[in-house]
């Protein structure tokens, strides 16, 4: 009986210790991100691969190896 109570007390104390740590982490994250603009950078225009430069290991940048990247119905396809 005493072991069971002690086990619960340890779990509760560990839980209570974690609450301030979590809260302080959230405050720090908020401070880091305040004042920053979160604008998305559009990587794919949905029409073509203009300005894309494919890079494959052991090949020169821009080498369109087996036409791996394609656009079909506004989707970017990766053909392996």
Domain extent at residue 19: 1-38
Model pTM?
0.43
Q: Is the same domain home to 24 and 49?
A: no
pLDDT digits (tens, 9 = 90+) for 22-64: 444 555 666 666 666 667 778 888 899 888 888 888 888 888 7
Mean pLDDT value of segment 10-33: 57
Distances in whole angstroms, Cα of residue 2 to Cα of each of 7, 13, 38: 9, 16, 53
**In terms of domains, do 34 and 49 share one?**
no
């Amino acid at each position: 009986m005493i072991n069971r109570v002690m086990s619960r007390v340890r779990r509760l104390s560990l839980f209570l210790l974690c609450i301030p740590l979590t809260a302080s982490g959230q405050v720090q994250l908020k401070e880091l991100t305040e004042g920053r603009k979160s604008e998305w950078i559009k990587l794919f225009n949905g029409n073509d691969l203009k300005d894309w430069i494919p890079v494959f290991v052991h090949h020169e940048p821009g080498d369109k190896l087996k036409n791996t990247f394609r656009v079909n119905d506004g989707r970017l396809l990766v053909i392996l």
